[in-house]
Amino acid sequence: MASTASPVRRGRLVRVAAAFAVLLALVAYVVMQYVSKGTGAPGCVVRSAGGPDSGQDSETSFELTPEMAANAATISAVGTTRGMPERAVTIALATALQESTLLNISYGDRDSLGLFQQRPSMGWGTPRQILDPVYSAGKFYEHLDEVPDYAKLPLTDAAQLVQRSGYPQAYAKHEPDAALLAAALTGRASAALTCTTGQQPGAGDPAKVRAALTRAFGNGVLPPATGSGRAAAPHARGAGAGSELRVPVTRATGGDSGAAKARRGWELAHWAVAQADELRIAEVSYGDRVWSADEAYDGWQQVGQGPGGTGEVRIRVGR
């Protein structure tokens, strides 16, 4: 006949088991925090703060990889440089999310290629051209601009009139995420996009950053007087070796008002953060906010009025 444990012994075993379970949960939490804060894969997140002034009950967010963020920033920059409104950028981003998940893929249905799955056989360009994100985004906007009153159409209708997709309703599901991205990447939302990187300490190349800026925003984004790399000035948050680019925000699309300049500043600042992993950007500052690759998990930090004020975005390359 099997013996049974006494009530006292059973209670002790339950307490030990419960304590052990709590210990395991604590260990798992610590490991998770270590992985996410220190050794996790690079990633980006764009947020929209909720509250009574935002029209939303709570914060919404969208997570994406650095590659996706870099392509999204390019799509947005090409659109605003062409004078397209934020709605056009939202339509373009939703389309690319559906067609390629914002990845510049070299394959697709039949001969479809790139961010928008454009087809050489349908006159979109050569394969090499289509696989250039600046070119493919420009072609998308070129066709979208030909759609009458596209900004007043439902997003899925506007996208379909450009794409002629076999699944025309598929674009609509991406509108909320695309709208979040567009608000940040066009600069309407400030300090809304942040990224972590997989960078190791080492020098970046300011020339590559200048080239990427001018490819996305046009030659006027970096006048010759401010286009050269400069030694990074000491910063309150620490500045290692590297070079600093100072990008003026005086060429604001939409006028010279303070609001227009601030929007331009955040457009440039968010673009730099989105490109940080690929271009080895170590720090971006605008106004009273700083993003640092070394402290990227903390997002944009308020540090008092930055060295460049609101007249320029400072991009430090290399670590």
Same domain, 181 and 64: yes
What pLDDT score was predicted for residue 190? Answer: 96
Chain segment 106-117, per-residue pLDDT in tens:
998 899 999 999
Instruction: Kindly tell me if the per-residue pLDDT of 292 is higher than 90.
Output: yes
User: Which pLDDT band, with edges at 50, 70 and 90, does 186 fall under?
Assistant: very high
Same domain, 179 and 208: no
User: Which pLDDT band, with edges at 50, 70 and 90, does 223 fall under?
Assistant: confident
Arithmetic mean of pLDDT, 147-174: 94
Closest CA to 235 of 305, 188, 166, 181: 305
What pLDDT score was predicted for residue 20? Answer: 52
User: Which pLDDT band, with edges at 50, 70 and 90, does 201 fall under?
Assistant: low
Chain segment 18-52, per-residue pLDDT in tens:
455 444 444 343 333 333 444 468 999 999 865 44
Q: How many domains does the chain have?
A: 2
User: Which pLDDT band, with edges at 50, 70 and 90, does 214 fall under?
Assistant: very high
Terminal Cα distance for the chain, rounded: 72
In a domain, 254, yes or no: yes
Same domain, 248 and 181: no
Torsion angle (degrees, nearest 10) of CA 32, 197, 101, 216: 160
Highest mean pLDDT among 30-44, 94-108, 234-248, 303-317: 94-108
Least confident range from 19-23, 124-128, 242-246, 254-258: namely: 19-23
Final residue before a domain boundary, out of 152, 185, 218: 185
- Whole-number percent of the chain with pLDDT over 90: 64
Closest CA to 43 of 64, 62, 60, 61: 64
Main-chain phi, psi angles of 55, to 5 degrees: 80, 5
Same domain, 313 and 247: yes
Parent domain of 297: 199-317
Instruction: Kindly tell me if the per-residue pLDDT of 200 is higher than 80.
Output: no
In whole numbers, what is the pLDDT of the chain averaged over residues?
Answer: 82
Closest CA to 138 of 184, 83, 189: 83
Arithmetic mean of pLDDT, 76-102: 98
What pLDDT score was predicted for residue 168? Answer: 82
307, two tokens: 């060295």
Of residues 18 and 275, more confidently modeled: 275
In a domain, 222, yes or no: yes
Arithmetic mean of pLDDT, 153-178: 94
If you search the block for the tokens 């373009």, which residue do you land on? 92
pTM: 0.81
Count the Cβ atoms, other than its own, within 10 Å of residue 9: 10
Same domain, 168 and 70: yes
Same domain, 122 and 228: no
What pLDDT score was predicted for residue 43? Answer: 95
Same domain, 213 and 160: no
Same domain, 64 and 180: yes
Q: Which residues contact 2 (CB under 8 A, 6 or more apart)?
A: none
Instruction: Kindly tell me if the per-residue pLDDT of 311 is higher than 70.
Output: yes
Question: Angle at which helices 133-144 and 86-100 pack, to 10 degrees?
Answer: 120
Instruction: Kindly tell me if the per-residue pLDDT of 211 is higher than 70.
Output: yes
Arithmetic mean of pLDDT, 280-292: 95
In a domain, 26, yes or no: no
Same domain, 259 and 286: yes
Question: Angle at which helices 175-185 and 258-274 pack, to 10 degrees?
Answer: 110
> What residue spans of 62-218 are helical by DSSP H?
66-81, 86-100, 127-130, 133-144, 155-163, 175-185, 206-217
What pLDDT score was predicted for residue 228? Answer: 41
The β-bridge partners of 284 are 291, 315
Instruction: Kindly tell me if the per-residue pLDDT of 88 is higher than 80.
Output: yes
